[in-house]
Amino acid sequence: MSARAPHAPWHESREGLRAKCVRWRHSMRHSLKWRLVLAFLLLALAVTAVFLFGMTRIVETGWQGYAKPLVADYVDKLADEIGSPPDVSKAQAIVSRLPVTVRIDGPAVHFDSHPNLRRPWSYDGDPRYGPESWGLVRTTADGHRIVFGLTGPLHRASEARTFFWATLTALLAVTLAAFAYVRRMLRPLHRIGEGVARFGAGDFTQPIAKTRNDELGDLAQRINQMATSLQGMLDAKRALLLAISHELRSPLTRARVNAELVGEGEHRDALLRDLSEMRDLISDLLESERLATGHAALHTESVDLAALVRDVVATQFAGAALTLELDASIGAVHADPMRLKVLLRNLIDNALRHSAGAVRSPVVRLAREAESGAASAPGGRVLLAVRDFGPGVSAEQLQRLSEPFYRTDSARARATGGVGLGLYLCRLIAQAHGGELRLQRAEPGLEVMALIRP
């Protein structure tokens, strides 16, 4: 006999169903369209209930008040015509000429003109309903009970149900039509959301299309005006920063030349070191502002990435202990070689700076994205990764490492080096190449991965 299947799939399916329910509830609370649908449905049900209740009360208090006395008077005449004791032949004559039913119960006569007719009411039921409520029951002097009715059910329950569902269907149809209209009316919200996302990412080239002349159209126009103002302020800030950086280069160069004339010693070395840091800071600021325009700032050509990595390591880190893991099958890609060299230089310099006392030397890796384990992102991109085996960073610091001027050392000590623009510049270079910069704790150490699209 085969073994029983484990219960894990059932638990997994139950957990999956619970997760779907949670997502559905979140979508219902978040989506304005679905909340409007629910409001329309509740409105339709409420209107249907109120309408049916009101019509029932109108019939009971209005039309029945006029009809019952007339019916009762006519029933008295029919009962007198049947006589006492009841005459079955006369009852049959009444049934033959009128669309009514007659049932007689008593000590001497038992008669039912329609024995197979289904009656929804009971003779022994609540007197507020059935034939008693309409005055269709008469008792003769000799103790016979005569009950009159219509050839169809007195209370047409099936027709009432049909009317109820037809009314509900009509109201739901009106609700769906109203929802379709509201959905069409709120359609610009999707375009407005996409436009706001573009503006938030710094892309002001494509304004939000104004397709309506209502309040949503005015909102799109106001957001476009706000984006134009923001772009103007950012351009002015960028121009000011570029101008200041360019203006600082000349006095900085003169200061370095004058520092070279100072006699050798500790003060001269400290002055030259500070001037070098200022030069690097200005260069990084200028480069970051140029890369703010994205791909337009690149000067692309065919680049052999493996050869580029070896060249950077050989020329700028000749005496450093580095481990290279390069996939030579990647071949040439279309990229900006100068910007990629800056990216590699910053990543390797950052890894070496934090590898003091580490058990292993930093690893420089070149691979395809699918081989790197980054299966969540679209395939086809190339990965340049540098990992150190130093102390690493905390989870809170990891989220901010690629922000401009952020350093894990809050005291900004000289021993840690840098001004906090290296990883920020790497992120801009990766984004300009259609990719992204990823940072993850390697335990021990930190791994920084630059994904670029060839």
Q: What is the rounded average pLDDT of the residues 406-421? A: 58
Is the domain of 414 the same as that of 377? yes
Helices (H) and strands (E) in the chain, counts: 12, 11
Considering the domain architecture, whether residues 315 and 432 belong to the same structural domain is answered as: yes
Cβ distance 182 to 36 under 8 Å? yes
Q: Which of 45-49, 83-87, 115-119, 270-274 has the lowest mean pLDDT?
A: 115-119
Among residues 262, 292, 322, the one where a domain terminates is 292
Please check the confidence at residue 414 and state whether its pLDDT lies above 70: no
Q: How confident is the model at residue 5 (pLDDT cuts 50, 70, 90)?
A: very low
Please give the biggest Cα pair distance in the chain: 145
Of the candidates 75, 70, 147, 142, which has an alpha carbon nearest to the alpha carbon of residue 104?
A: 147
Q: Residue 305 burial (CB < 10 Å; 0-12/13-18/19+)?
A: buried
CA 128 to mean position of chain CA atoms: 56
**204 located within any domain:** no
Last residue of a domain, one of 292, 320, 351: 292
Residue 34 lies in a domain: yes
Q: Within this chain, do residues 181 and 228 fall inside the same structural domain, yes or no?
A: no
Per DSSP bridges, beta strands 137-139 and 110-112 are unpaired
Is the model's pLDDT at 448 over the cut of 60? yes
User: Which pLDDT belongs to residue 417?
Assistant: 53
Structure tokens at 230: 């923001």
Q: Which of 237, 261, 292 is the last residue of a domain?
A: 292
Query: Are residue 353 and residue 418 in the same domain, yes or no?
Result: yes
Whether 414 is covered by a domain: the verdict is: yes
Question: Are 254 and 326 part of one and the same domain?
Answer: no
What pLDDT does 379 receive? Answer: 46
The band of 364, judged by pLDDT with boundaries at 50, 70 and 90, is very high
Residue 363 — pLDDT band, cuts 50, 70, 90?
very high
Q: Within this chain, do residues 301 and 271 fall inside the same structural domain, yes or no?
A: no
Q: Domain for residue 139, yes or no?
A: yes
- Structural domains in the chain (count): 3
Specify the range with the lowest mean pLDDT, choosing from 87-96, 132-141, 222-231, 432-441. 132-141
pLDDT of amino acid 311: 92
Q: Please give the Cα distance from 348 to 429 (Å, whole number).
A: 15
Domain range enclosing 260: 216-292
Question: 323 and 427 share a domain?
Answer: yes
Is the pLDDT confidence value at 143 over 80? yes
- Tell me, yes or no, whether 196 lies in a domain: no
- Report residue 446: phi and psi, to 5°: -135, 140
Q: Are residues 233 and 323 in the same domain?
A: no
Tell me: do 328 and 370 sit in the same domain: yes
Q: Which of 170-174, 320-324, 431-435 has the lowest mean pLDDT?
A: 170-174
In a domain, 195, yes or no: no
pLDDT band at 386 (very low <50, low <70, confident <90, very high): very high
Residue 328 lies in a domain: yes
Residue 344 pLDDT greater than 90, yes or no:
yes
Residues 224 and 120 both lie in one domain: no
pTM: 0.50
Q: CATH number, domain at 421?
A: 3.30.565.10
Does residue 30 sit in the same domain as residue 115? yes
Residues 30 and 175 in one domain: yes
In a domain, 258, yes or no: yes
Residue 205, CA distances (Å) to 227, 228, 294 in order: 10, 10, 12
Report the alpha-carbon distance of residue 429 to residue 448 in Å, rounded.
14
